[in-house]
Amino acid sequence: MTGVDPSRLDDQQLMKELENIHRTRHDTLLYGSNDALRAHNERMAQLEGEYLRRNPRRTVASGRTREGARDRAPGGAPPPM
What's the whole-model pTM score?
0.78
Query: Which of 20-24, 57-61, 67-71, 72-76 tops mean pLDDT?
Result: 20-24
Query: What is d(CA 45, CA 9) in angstroms, rounded to the nearest whole number?
Result: 15
pLDDT of the residue at 2: 73
pLDDT at 79 over 70: no
Structure confidence at residue 72 (pLDDT) = 74
Percent over 70 (pLDDT), the chain: 88
- Across 65-76, average pLDDT: 74
Residues 30, 60: Cα–Cα separation, whole Å = 29
CA distances from 29 to 18, 25, 26, 58 (A): 16, 6, 5, 28
pLDDT of residue 62: 85
CB 9 within 8 A of CB 17: yes
Residue pair 50/7 in contact by the 8 Å Cβ criterion:
yes
CB atoms closer than 10 angstroms to residue 40 = 18
